[in-house]
Chains A and B, each alone.
Chain A
Amino acid sequence: MTHRHDFGPDLVEVFGPSQADGGPELIQLLTPEGERVEHPDFRFDPRDERDQPLDEAETIRGFYRDMVLSRRVDTEATALQRHGELGIWAQLLGQEAAQIGAGRALKPQDYVFPTYREHGVAWCRGVDPLKLLGLFRGVDHGSWDPNEHNFGLYTIVIGAQTLHATGYAMGIQRDGAVGTGDPERDAAVIAHFGDGASSQGDVNEAFVFAASYNAPVVFFCQNNQWAISEPIERQSRIPLYQRALGFGFPGLRVDGNDVLATYAVTRAALQRAREGQGPTFIEAYTYRMGAHTTTDDPTRYRHSEDVEHWKLKDPIERVKVHLRRNGLAEETFFADVQAEADDLGARLRKGCHDLPDPDPRRVFDHVYAEMPAELVAQRDEFTAYLDSFEEAQA
């Protein structure tokens, strides 16, 4: 029996069909059928890093290419895991639009704090996908230079990076790189996390700190409906974007399978942050089409009908339909992207196989900026121990 109180706002019905489709609050500019639709507050208006208009069709073709190649990275990496070349892989399948839309809204001076699933955002930041594989193969903990790409290392501890993002944004404030009006100076930070992370203390503390200091940070939550086996209902009884209001900044729910809407909303939120108007919460409403990671078996906890339902909302297919139907791309374009994806896949297969194992002697490197004498001694002892085997073989 359901007991209803007569006071306070009604709990939003989280199990009903409106939630399943994102509800009327969902910001959408391109329908699953590939039709452009208007939104009163947001429109697709692509701009370059100097805020100058970009060619719309060319930009959408670029998004299409980004999404196809990101998906190829994902499917290739999944296959590599199945072949034993990777220990594990965190799949992005289905979340390409959320990641490419968010990634392409960034300016070079913005900084990204990813989880371990932001392969599409990494792509937008110019990180070689081969470098993503190292972490999952077990040869390193992430081998790209975060400051070369303004793209942090993958963070495994759920939600921890949202605090780093907020602190980094506080640093931007102190550097005077907010609200100057210079499109190439003003900077913002974007923190990625998922629906599961929204329950973490660190994420909620990040909201408090960001609001308190009005920090230039965008909290970008990909609500893919599943935290391993736990559905979104286990994390929240209200739509996630509504939580932002309680922290004192705006929250928006965007169709995370719509790359145009995700780009438009993220770009607006980042611009708002750069101008010094503080944080925004974006809930990119999407669906994890694959497993949590390659070690997971989603058939144990979710219905195949749900997956079939979301297949109809595929983020790449709707862009393809839109480009084709409106004559915005030649057939050769699609063939070229496909060929490029095949080349990328081949390069990843070869490159992954060729990634060298690290030398165990190097495990002492970078534990400290200034290595203490006692660790130097342990390193020398360990090195001599390992060397003794090689000398014995020689």
Chain B
Amino acid sequence: MTDKVTLARGLNMGLRRAMDNDPKVVVMGEDVGKLGGVFRITDGLQKDFGEDRVIDSPLAESGIVGTAVGMAMRGYKPVVEIQFDGFVYPAYDQIVCQVAKLHFRSRGLQPMPLVIRIPFGGGIGAVEHHSESPEAQFAHTPGLKVVACSNPVDGYWMLQQAIACPDPVVFLEPKRQYHADKAELDTEVDPDPLFASRVVRPGNDVTLLAYGPTVKTCLKAAEAAEADGQSLEVIDLRTLSPLDMEPVHESVRRTGRAIVVHEAHVNLGMGAEVGARITEECFYSLEAPVLRVGGLDTPYPASRIEEDWLPGLDRVLDAVDRSLEW
């Protein structure tokens, strides 16, 4: 079946298909039932799968993740929704100390096939705590896998693959993209693997590395740069833990220049790890230091200035110029 869908719709369809295929998949979170989630990602699921499988939870994030751990121990596959990125921290202890470690602690006897969905990133004019990018905090934790989708087709497939994954997956969704663009979704093709990065626009001069919301920014940057005669390659990292560096290394060996672009703070963000790995593997190919463009090292600002704070088109192009001038 082929259809043009938004990211929100793709995720919804992916969830529905996963629930159809496996009766052990349950969805839990705040407002995910009757309301269908504040972003409508779970729209209609409770009506079709019932209150036992699409569970409106009390308003307590540690409780959501902690009870999901118990359900996983009983053989269920919980897909929990954290309503907004900035509200994941009450569950941080359960995610880092329990979800991430139980398979290890129990020598594989207590698998944790959880998916923790987190809408992340800014650009929606929200109040504080609704626009954050906490991915590095989870990618730093052994035992977790962390992925970020950037488009409707990936949303549909990656969510199903994350649910099928026997390890716990923190699944990041760029909330700014939920209802932004539509893409052609063919539900019958073989998807790319979950833990694989992907070249989304080939180029020769500079490699842009992005994930989630900044993939679109980088694609726009590449278009704009083309008019100036610059050929930018854009890679959607897709998986943040583990990283899939081979396509990145292949690209940087050709271009000699790399820029990592994410909304999260630059200091100790994913760009630091990606940059270090490029340096380890591609040292003699580099024509310039790996640059990082990201959120400033301040708390997320009040929303009237968020577009200045976020790594937008101009800041990416500025970094491209700096890299090429090196």
Contact = CB atoms under 8 A, between A and B. Distances in A.
Interface in B81-99: 90, 93-94, 97-98
A365 B97 CA distance: 18
Contacts of A225: none
Given A166-B67, A205-B63, A205-B66, A366 B90 contact: no
A332 interface: no
Contact of B242 (A113, A168, A373): A373
Contacts of A372: 145, 195, 241-242
Given A163-B66, A205-B58, A366-B108, A171 B103 contact: no
Interface stretch (B34-42, B72-80, B122-130, B148-156): B72-80
A202 B103 contact: no
Interface in A359-380: 365-370, 372-375
Contacts of A368: 103, 143, 145, 167
Given A208-B58, A367-B104, A375-B242, A168 B74 contact: yes
B111 interface: yes
B62 A153 contact: no
A62 B67 CA distance: 35
A23 interface: no
A370 B242 contact: no
Interface string A125-160: 000000000000000111101110000110001001
Contacts of B111: 369
Contact of A170 (B62, B70, B143, B243): B70
B165 A209 contact: no
Contacts, number: 136
A164 B109 contact: no
A383 interface: no
B288 interface: no
A165 B243 contact: no
B69 interface: yes
B247 interface: no
Contact of B66 (A152, A171, A206, A369): A206
B26 A167 contact: no
Interface in A79-126: 113
B166 interface: yes
Contact of B69 (A143, A164, A172, A205): A164
B73 A171 contact: yes
Contacts of A165: 70
B62 A370 contact: no
A166 B70 contact: yes
A169 interface: yes
Interface in B38-74: 52-53, 57-58, 60, 62-63, 65-74
B242 A160 contact: no
Nearest to A157: B97
A366 B243 CA distance: 19
B94 A369 contact: no
A171 B105 contact: no
Nearest to B76: A171
Nearest to B97: A157
A174 interface: yes
Given A367-B104, A368-B103, A373-B242, A167 B94 contact: no
B167 A369 contact: yes
A201 interface: yes
Q: Which of B74, B105, B142, B145 has the most CB of A within 10 A?
A: B74
Given A201-B62, A370-B166, A209 B67 contact: yes
B209 to A, nearest CB: 16
A141 B71 contact: no
Contacts of A167: 66-74
B76 A212 contact: no
Nearest to B105: A141
Given A202-B62, A205-B58, A212-B58, A163 B108 contact: no
Given A168-B71, A369-B113, A372-B241, 14 more contacts: A146-B106, A160-B66, A164-B67, A164-B70, A164-B73, A167-B71, A167-B73, A168-B74, A171-B71, A174-B76, A201-B90, A206-B67, A209-B67, A368-B145
A-B residue pairs, 4 tightest by C-beta:
A167-B70, A163-B66, A171-B74, A167-B67
